Amino acid sequence: MNIESLNIESHLIPTLETVSDPEIPVLTVLDLGVIREAVEKDGIIQIKLTPTYSGCPAMDVISDDLKAAFATIGKEVNVELVLAPAWSTDWISEEGLQKMEEYGIARPLSETADKDVLLGQKKLVKCTNCGSTNTHLVSQFGSTACKALFKCDDCQEPFDYFKCLK
């Protein structure tokens, strides 16, 4: 998702970039696409935050981290949680996807391909260790709600796959 198309004031971006997802620390909240709006109004920063999954415990932490980050530049923050439109993995930036893969989490496939791999019908998920697609699904649910667990049949490494959400 392109930052320019969202209502995020450019002077707030440097501070927003210092806040990352507590579960995938290489991703900033901007990479993840969970900040839907950030504007300064009468000296207070108004932020609209959307959850990745309904029960995502990271949202409370992110909300606190945003307040702490802006406190360092003497600004107060008001965070509002918004549900609509619902977050989608399409909103993760290309840069974010690359950082995620380097971190060891395979990027989400397209919706149909995602269904195929999660039903174990096709081998499409690329091992983040050796790049082979000779991989298989171990569990549809991984260490967090957004991920599934895979294993590589070539190098034998287990790894996470970020499930497609649309």
Partner 1 sequence: MNNNLYNYILGVADNSLILAQRLGELCGHGPTLETDIALTNISLDLLGQTRSYYQYAAKIKGEDATEDSIAFLRLEREYKNVLLVEQPNTHFGFVIARQFLFDVYHYMIMQQLQNSKDLNLAAIANKGIKEVSYHKRFSSDWVKRLGDGTSESNQKIQEAIDALWRFTDELFDILEADQKMINEGVAVDVSKLKAAYYEEVSEVLKEANIQIPESKYFTRGGKKGIHSEHMGYLLADLQYMQRTYPNMTW
Q: Which residues bind Zn ion (CB under 5 A)?
A: 127, 129-130, 132, 152, 154-155
Among positions 6, 113, 145, 155, the unique one binding partner 1 when judged by CB under 8 A: 145
- Tell me the per-residue interface mask from 18 to 57 with partner 1, x by CB under 8 A, - otherwise: ---------------------------------x-xxxxx
Could you check whether the bond before residue 85 is cis, i.e. omega within 30 degrees of 0?
Answer: yes
Residue placing its CB nearer to partner 1 in the complex, 70 or 150: 150
- Tell me the per-residue interface mask from 109 to 128 with partner 1, x by CB under 8 A, - otherwise: ---------xx---------
Mapping DSSP onto H, E and C, the string for 32-97 reads HCCEEEEEEECCEEEEEECCCCCCCCHHHHHHHHHHHHHHCCCCEEEEEECCCCCCCHHHCCHHHH
Q: How near is the Cβ of 81 to partner 1 at its closest, in Å?
A: 9
Distance in Å from the first CA to the final CA of the chain: 14
Q: Which residue has the tokens 């287990």?
A: 158
Q: How near is the Cβ of 54 to partner 1 at its closest, in Å?
A: 3
Binding partner selected for residue 43 from partner 1, Zn ion, none, CB under the kind-specific 5 to 8 Å limit = none
Q: Please list the residues that pair with 77 across neighbouring strands.
A: 45
How far apart are alpha carbons 8 and 16 in whole angstroms? 10
Residue placing its CB nearer to partner 1 in the complex, 28 or 50: 50
Binding partner selected for residue 129 from Zn ion, partner 1, none, CB under the kind-specific 5 to 8 Å limit = Zn ion
